[in-house]
Amino acid sequence: MAELRIDIEAIGRNTEVVAAMLRERGLDLVAVTKGCQGDPRVAASMLAGGAVALADTRDRNLERLRSALPGVKLHRIHLPSLAGPFEPGDVTYVSSQEGAAAVAVLGSPAVPREVMVQVETGDEREGVPVDRLLGLALAIADEPRLDLVGVSTNYACFRGGPEGIRESVETIARAAAELRATGMPVGHVSGGNSSLLWLLRQGEALPAEVTELRCGEALLLGQDALYYDPLPGCRTDACVLRAEVLEEYTRPAPGGSARRLVLGVGQQDLSSGVVRFTEPGLCEIGRSADYLVVDAAARRPGLPVGSMVDMIPSYEALVAAWTSPYVELRGLGL
């Protein structure tokens, strides 16, 4: 069985680096745990490293975190479900009046539910359009069972490219300033995710309105989420995928011969996420549901059947591997 080896100390170290980078700029770090299925041990290392709160998208993950880490502030960064019950966060993100109403049912005038409005700033995924933000914010402010605590945005997760990253964070900053000008107490402005760390690495300052970032990829993989460059001081090997060589062969190919490896991990375990081999001379040429086919022509000596190959997964591959029943988790005290 393929293995996903997790180094808790390395994740904690990455969190310390990112938290310090943000703290120098007056920003808080909210650690996103969806990439590790809300694992409380990983979450605890992120909190110890300097995160002020945790964020997740899945009800089961939020339940695990609340049970294991009572008193920690949890952000539900997945929009509320209207089809059935959902696990709210201490802060729940909404983008519509219907979603806000679903959260309001869980609150009371005596104990209102905290919400942040998710704003669409160019990623073309979730979020209220900017020109409808004021109306939604006013509706929330008029609901005594809700407490509007801030605004948020997300970028570079769907269609947002590097060229729009600055406009995204500037848009959410302007939106926050406009709401504050109406007298609304918008205390929290979540400017985005690990993609914004690339801007900070370039020495750029974020707008003064931004108070926090939500980061998961940077903590688990030690890289920004825009160009996927390693972050100085971070470990990029905190999560290592290990798969067995099930077959090794040489076959005729145009211009000569091809040396191939067949590894015991596939699309079921990685989705379409990229992997990077830790050993030189290996290159993926394709994958099926159960196998990863690797060109090994440039590597000498070969890797015999039964040996193990280590890979660094991309964030997409990491999430898929962590949730695959066919990948065994190692580390984490298991």
Question: What is the per-residue pLDDT across 175-229, written as a single tens digit (0 to 9) for each?
Answer: 999 999 999 989 999 999 999 999 999 999 999 999 999 999 999 999 999 999 9
Indicate which CATH number applies to the domain containing 304. 2.40.37.10
Amino acid at 280: P
Report the domain count for the chain. 2
> Does one domain contain both 202 and 255?
no
Both 49 and 174 in a single domain? yes
Whether 107 and 244 map to the same domain: the answer is: no
Helix (H, G, I), strand (E, B) or coil at 276: strand
> What's the rounded Cα separation, in Å, for the pair 199 and 206?
8
pLDDT value at 334 more than 60? no
Question: What is the Cα 311 distance to its own chain's centre?
Answer: 19
Residue 166 has pLDDT above 90, yes or no: yes
Please give the pLDDT value at position 54.
98
Q: Does 148 or 299 have the greater pLDDT score?
A: 148
Domain enclosing residue 296, as ranges: 239-331
- Among residues 188, 221, 254, which one ends one of the domains? 221
Alpha-helical (H) ranges within 184-302 are 197-201, 217-221, 267-270
Which residue's entry shows tokens 């591997």? Answer: 321
Checking if the pLDDT of 172 tops 90, the result is: yes
- Higher pLDDT: 331 or 145? It is 145
Nearest to 55 by CA among 81, 29, 80: 29
Question: Whose CA is closest to 32, among 65, 8, 5?
Answer: 65
Question: What are the tens digits of pLDDT across the range 16-30?
Answer: 999 999 999 999 999
Distance of CA 97 to the CA centre of its chain: 26
Per residue in 295-309, pLDDT (tens digit) is 997 776 779 999 999
pLDDT value of position 333 = 63
Q: How far is CA 120 from the centre of its chain?
A: 18
Q: Are residues 154 and 302 in the same domain?
A: no
Backbone angles phi, psi at 39, to 5 degrees: -65, 120
Q: Which of 221, 249, 277 is the last residue of a domain?
A: 221
pLDDT of 41 > 90? The answer is yes
94: β partners = 117
Is pLDDT above 70 for 158? yes
Residues 6+ apart with CB under 8 A from 156: 123, 162, 165, 192, 193, 195, 225, 226
pLDDT classification of 332: cutoffs 50, 70, 90: confident
**In a shared domain, residues 297 and 195:** no
Same domain, 210 and 261: no
Q: Looking at the structure, do residues 55 and 89 belong to the same domain, yes or no?
A: yes
Those residues whose C-beta lies under 8 Å from the C-beta of residue 32, and which sit 6 or more positions away, are 54, 55, 56, 77, 193, 214, 215, 216, 217, 219
> CA 68, CA 59: separation in Å to the nearest integer?
14
Same domain, 188 and 60: yes
Least confident of 167-181, 241-255, 259-273: 241-255
Q: How far apart are the first and last CA of the chain?
A: 16
* 3-state helix/strand/coil string of 60-97: HHHHHHHHHCCCCCEEECCCCCCCCCCCCCCEEEECCH
Residues facing 241 on adjacent strands: 4, 311
Exposed, middle or buried: residue 133 (CB in 10 Å: 0-12, 13-18, 19+)? buried
Q: What is the pTM of this model?
A: 0.96
Q: Where a domain ends, among 195, 221, 247?
A: 221
Q: Which two tokens stand for residue 235?
A: 């470990």
What's the one-letter identity of residue 252? P
Same domain for 152 and 180: yes
